[in-house]
């Protein structure tokens, strides 16, 4: 047995085994080192998806420019710098466009708070007039009617996804938010003229050009509020009651909506409808104590080309 044990414990065999083990261990270490130097073939880690954020944007530079034009022309009208007609023209037109942007912004902001967050992606919260509806039907046509006829057709439109709103009341509130801007502007402007302006059309009154332009701008705000509150499909007055109408009536109204502004345009072309609308607008001027002749003089200055 001793012979067998000596053969089993031969030092040479143990040394050979140790050398073979060391060689294999060294080979494994070299292989690991080579794999570390090679680029990893594992798929890249998928980044964690970020939450969708609404575009912040900011206030449109066009709106800022309109406000600057309105303020500069108002100062010019007050100080008597420049031709009265041109000054009033730029003052009234820029003021009307500013309230138009605020009108549509109010729609969008109310919808945003009511649950429709897509208005931010559409750019409605930037006060950019280019975003508010069709450039011809909802902006150019009302502006031309304002310049030619002296009446402000409802202009601008924002596409609200009503199904995202929380309830019918929110839907109706979105439609009411726009005319509320014109009503508020009417109250502020009429109060300013009634408290600080002349009690009648006095050619010797100080700052007459400014007060005439401001009175005509107030007249346009009253007219815009009345027009928008008409219950015609496509206008805000109809939108305020639409959520509470039956499905059949709403379906019929949806077919008329694209032509709502054209219907108003046609009605105002008729002498009877135009006269009734003018009487309703002047009524609010009389109630506030603002002389209607001052608004007429402002309209005369605004439409300066008619005197050429």
pLDDT band of residue 18 (cuts 50, 70, 90) is low
pTM for the whole structure: 0.78
* C-alpha span between 16 and 7 (Å, rounded): 14
Across residues 154-183, what is the average pLDDT? 91
Of 154 and 236, more confident: 236
Q: Which residues of 261-282 are buried (b: 16+ CB within 10 A; e: fewer)?
A: beebbebbeeeeeeeebbeebb
Share of the chain above pLDDT 70, in %: 75
pLDDT band of residue 3 (cuts 50, 70, 90) is very low
The pLDDT assigned to 150 comes to 62
* C-alpha span between 66 and 247 (Å, rounded): 41
The pLDDT assigned to 27 comes to 66
The pLDDT assigned to 115 comes to 95
pLDDT band of residue 51 (cuts 50, 70, 90) is very low
Q: Is 19 a catalytic residue?
A: no
- Ordered DSSP codes for 12-45: HHHHHHHHHHHHHHHHHHHHHHHHHHSPP-SPPP
| Top-confidence range, 51-55, 130-134, 144-148, 226-230 | 226-230
Per the residue annotation, which of 35, 104, 161, 293 is the catalytic one?
A: 104
The pLDDT assigned to 146 comes to 74
Whether the CB-CB separation of 192 and 288 falls below 8 Å is answered with no
Across residues 256-267, what is the average pLDDT? 84
The pLDDT assigned to 110 comes to 97
């Amino acid at each position: 047995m001793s012979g067998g044990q000596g053969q089993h414990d031969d030092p040479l065999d143990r040394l050979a085994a140790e050398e073979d083990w060391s060689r294999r261990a060294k080979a494994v270490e070299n292989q690991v080192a080579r794999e570390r130097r090679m680029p990893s073939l594992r798929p890249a880690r998928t980044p964690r998806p970020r939450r969708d954020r609404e575009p912040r944007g900011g206030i449109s530079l066009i709106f800022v420019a309109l406000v600057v034009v309105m303020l500069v022309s108002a100062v010019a009208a007050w100080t008597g710098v420049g031709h009265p007609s041109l000054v009033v023209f730029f003052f009234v037109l820029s003021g009307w466009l500013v309230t138009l942007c605020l009108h549509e912004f109010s729609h969008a902001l109310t919808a945003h708070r009511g649950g429709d967050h897509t208005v931010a992606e559409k750019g409605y919260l930037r006060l950019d007039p280019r975003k508010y509806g069709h450039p011809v039907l909802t902006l150019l046509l009302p502006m031309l009617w304002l310049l030619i006829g002296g009446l402000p057709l409802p202009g601008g439109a924002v596409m609200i996804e009503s199904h995202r709103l929380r309830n019918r009341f929110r839907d109706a509130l979105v439609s009411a938010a726009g005319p509320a801007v014109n009503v508020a502007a009417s109250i502020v402007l009429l109060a300013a003229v009634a408290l600080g302006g002349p009690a009648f059309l006095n050619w010797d009154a100080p700052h007459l050009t400014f007060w005439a332009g401001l009175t005509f701008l107030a007249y346009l705000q009253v007219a815009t509020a009345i027009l928008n509150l008409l219950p015609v499909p496509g206008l805000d007055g109809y939108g305020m009651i639409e959520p509470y109408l039956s499905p059949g009536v709403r379906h019929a109204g949806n077919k008329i909506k694209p032509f709502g502004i054209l219907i108003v345009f046609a009605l105002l072309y008729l002498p009877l409808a135009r006269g009734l609308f003018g009487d309703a607008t002047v009524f609010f001027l009389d109630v506030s104590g603002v002389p209607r002749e001052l608004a007429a003089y402002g309209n005369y200055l605004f439409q300066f080309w008619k005197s050429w």
